[in-house]
Amino acid sequence: MSRTRVESFSDGVFTIAITLLVLTIGLPNDYTRLSQELTDRWPSFAAYVVSFAIIGVMWLNHHSIFNHFERIDRGLVYLNLLLLMTIAFLPYTTGVFGEALRKGDGAQTAAVAYSATMAANAIAWGAMWLYAAVGLVLMVIGFYAIDLTTPGPLRQMVKQGKPNAIVISAAGIVSMAFIVVLAIYSSGGRLAEGLIATAIFGFVGIVAQVVMMRVATMVLGVNMAGCLESDSFSKESLMVAAAQFALGLVVAVAIL
């Protein structure tokens, strides 16, 4: 699905919701007491300003988040619709809250309703981030897992520009990326299945890579510590990188 189309639809919902907020401020009933009537409606004005600012910030966040997405699947669209539903409902709870404060009746219940709407909105944001970021999280976990199971501080060696450490780390990240991408792709946009499959196969890939690093040391006869710490390029690093890459392909194809 086109990201541009989803963003355009979302912008339309944000625009309508933020415009409808002004309708939550009731018109004066007695224009002979206009000053007093407007003053009495200060809670509605306050609720309007707060909700306007909230929706404005949400729109900016929504724009920033979608700039990080390379592609959008059906699961993400569903979560985006859930988010937009909570935003479109905000003018209603804003109006109820403002009127309850103005009349001095039911303010506590109105506050609970407003807070519940914001809580649902926060859950929708979190679910969308979780769905989008699960792959990145797994790749980071995979790198740290390899880092913990290899001789020496792998991160430090990468920062120092050790060529073999860079090659092996890059191969591990690419391998994990294959697994994560195919896990998400194979879900066909089914949200729950996509999250579960990505998590399961991602952790399978992490465990497999950790085991492979040990196997490379024992079976292939690679001196992993010396290879990683060396300042000169070693062909042994290509053997380990190729094994990681092949392992990633095997796990990724198994998902399909």
Residue 14's pLDDT band, with cuts at 50, 70 and 90, is very high
Q: Is the pLDDT of residue 161 over 70?
A: yes
| pLDDT band per the 50, 70, 90 thresholds, residue 254 | low
Whether residue 255 has pLDDT greater than 70: no
Q: What is the pLDDT of residue 10?
A: 92
Flag whether pLDDT at 32 surpasses 70.
yes
- pLDDT classification of 50: cutoffs 50, 70, 90: confident
Q: Confirm if 110 and 101 have CB atoms less than 8 A apart.
A: yes
| pLDDT given at position 88 | 93
HSE at residue 142, side-chain half, CA atoms within 13 A, is 34
Q: Element (H or E) spanning 12, and its range?
A: helix 3-20
Rounded alpha-carbon distances, angstroms, from residue 80 to 7, 17, 31, 96: 10, 15, 43, 25
- Nearest-angstrom CA–CA distance, 177 and 205: 10
pLDDT of 136 reads 62
Rg (CA), the chain: 27
Residue type, 49: V
Is 117 in contact with 89 (CB distance < 8 Å)? yes
Terminus-to-terminus CA distance in the chain, angstroms? 21
Mean pLDDT of the chain, nearest integer? 77
Query: What sign for the dihedral angle of Cα 234, 238, 240, 241?
Result: positive
Q: Which amino acid is at 187?
A: S
Long-range contacts, stretch 193-201, CB < 8 angstroms, 24+ apart: 194/73, 194/75, 194/131, 195/130, 195/131, 195/134, 197/255, 198/134, 198/135, 198/138, 199/134, 199/138, 201/251, 201/252, 201/254, 201/255
Residue 75: exposure state from Cβ atoms within 10 A (0-12, 13-18, ≥19):
buried
Task: Return the closest-CA partner of residue 58 out of 112, 151, 124.
Answer: 124
Residue 252: per-residue pLDDT: 67
The string of pLDDT tens digits covering residues 77-134 is: 888 899 999 999 999 988 888 888 888 888 788 888 888 888 888 888 877 777 766 6
Q: What is the pLDDT of residues 176-188, one digit of tens each?
A: 666 666 666 665 5
Sort 79 into a burial class: Cβ within 10 Å, 0-12 / 13-18 / 19+: buried
Flag whether pLDDT at 35 surpasses 80: yes
User: Which tokens sit at 66?
Assistant: 């979608």
* pLDDT at site 3: 77
Percent with pLDDT over 70 in the chain: 70
pTM for the model stands at 0.56
Measured CA to CA, the distance from residue 98 to residue 92 in angstroms comes to: 10
The one-character DSSP state at 239 is H
